[in-house]
Amino acid sequence: MQSRWFSTSSRRRGGSLPVHAALLALSLAACDHSAGPLVRVGGGSGAAACDDTASPAAPAASISDLDELARLAIDGPEGERAAAIDKLRAAGPAGLDAFVGRHGSELATPLPAPAPAPAKADDDARGWRWPVAAGRDDAADRSARIDAALDTICQQRGCRFSQLYWHTDLDAALAAARAEGKPVLSLRLLGELDETLSCANSRLFRTILYPALAPWLRERFILHWRSERPAPVITVDYGDGRRLQTTITGNSVHYVLDADGRPVDAIPGLLAPPVFQRLLERAAALALTTSGRPPAAKDAMIREHHRQRLEELDAAWEAEMRAIGEDPLRRRPPAGPRIAGRTPRAAEAMPLAVSKMRVEMPLLNGVGLGGPSREEALWGALADRHVLESRLSEASLRAMSALETIDPAKRARSERDLALDSVQNEHQLHRAIHGWFTAGTAPAELEALNRRVYDQLFLTPGDDPTLGMAGESVFAGLPAGGWVGGR
């Protein structure tokens, strides 16, 4: 049974395209290789894709054209597949609809059990593919082609589990927002959403958050992402053919923008899907109200919204303290360490995101860059009150189970960490952002606001090329202290 925060998708999975997709297909231009070189979207791994800003002079794609492109993308001659995928990407959500409409039955087929660890140390996690059915090589190749094509059209890794179309050009996203009367949900992350080794939080978004809320997100928002900087990758080579490879440090944030591009809220880190949906509902309503208003009117409406949210969070904190037997006037623990006159260290930034910390802290400790990792009793008590709201949906479990075997212990740990993330992000990080908006100090321009979030809130300033992982100034017994390509 679906939980109450789900809504029914308006996209049909077979047969003809829905009306909104048909209209969009008629209005968006196809990608034409003869017009010049391709423009890479997103910059991540995988096949090239056309930029999502189509030329108005290019020929429009009809519904039948899109259906034929969806066929060619998988079943066409090998030399024509990439061009068909590019054109589906350029057609926007209508191209995605056409692809899913053509190949939906295969996408709905459950994936086999997660693949074992790569057999050779030279197998790179950056090139990892979703597991495919064992047996005939042609079946495995077809399954891999469908996933690769879908990921390119969506510009999101593992798109089979959410089937969301992401803009990578903000101007195009804002144009779509104005045309459709929707706000923009803009993700900022380390790495890129269409590659395996993007930052840990974005991987959890792809597997836990987006699959659970996909129909609702598709209906309510224009989606956009941009990379803040590459995600640092750490490799542990055990010398016997085994290798552990993952990303390390960094954080992610979702901005809600009105159709004029003005940020009305910033939602930091990972949250349980129903919590995330509630926050987005309120921010979306604000964005729809501020769109098209004069700057002074926008400012007043945004400040009042965040003032009310601060009051509500303060009242909720007092109620939470009473519920766990604490003094209702007890102050919240600070969001992070007080840092003055130095660059934050990776181990200081890491506890700001609990689920991500579980993945990364053992490696930081192993290479001497870590620090004390402890779950404060206060946050643990609060998380216990919200575990039920953090239960993993069936859609999330399907996406997670394609990567790893999710046994009861791993599921329970994931749900409790999700509850911890939710309470800490709301009562610490998001509360700080509400304070900025209420005081009128939150920049009205997206890039300036994002810079403040990463520099001051996430403790990963843009002028630190090592992301807090330079370590102490000690002798390592290695040329240049082990650094390659500069420090």
Q: What is the DSSP string of 54-68?
A: --TTSPBPPHHHHHH
End-to-end CA distance of the chain: 52
Q: Round to whole Å and give the CA distance between 193 and 215.
A: 19
Buried b (16+ CB within 10 A) or exposed e, 212-250: bbbbbbbebbbbbbbbbbbbbebeeeeeeeebebbbbbb
Q: Sort 301 into a burial class: Cβ within 10 Å, 0-12 / 13-18 / 19+.
A: middle
Are 395 and 161 in contact, with CB atoms under 8 Å apart?
yes
Residue 316 one-letter amino acid: A
For the chain, 487 residues long, give each residue's pLDDT as a single digit of tens: 333 222 223 333 333 333 334 334 333 333 433 333 222 233 333 333 444 544 333 445 677 899 999 999 999 998 999 999 999 999 999 999 999 999 999 998 877 766 665 554 444 454 445 454 444 446 678 888 999 999 999 999 999 999 999 999 999 999 999 999 999 999 999 999 999 999 999 999 999 999 999 999 999 999 999 999 999 888 888 898 888 888 887 789 999 999 999 999 999 999 999 999 999 999 999 999 999 999 999 999 999 999 999 999 999 999 999 999 888 877 777 665 544 444 454 445 555 455 545 544 555 554 444 444 444 788 889 999 999 999 999 999 999 999 999 999 999 999 999 999 999 999 999 999 999 999 999 999 999 999 999 999 998 887 887 777 766 666 777 777 777 876 6
Are 171 and 210 in contact, with CB atoms under 8 Å apart?
no
**Structure token pair of residue 381:** 């008590």
Buried b (16+ CB within 10 A) or exposed e, 359-391: bbbebbeeeebbeeeeeeebbebbbeebbebbb
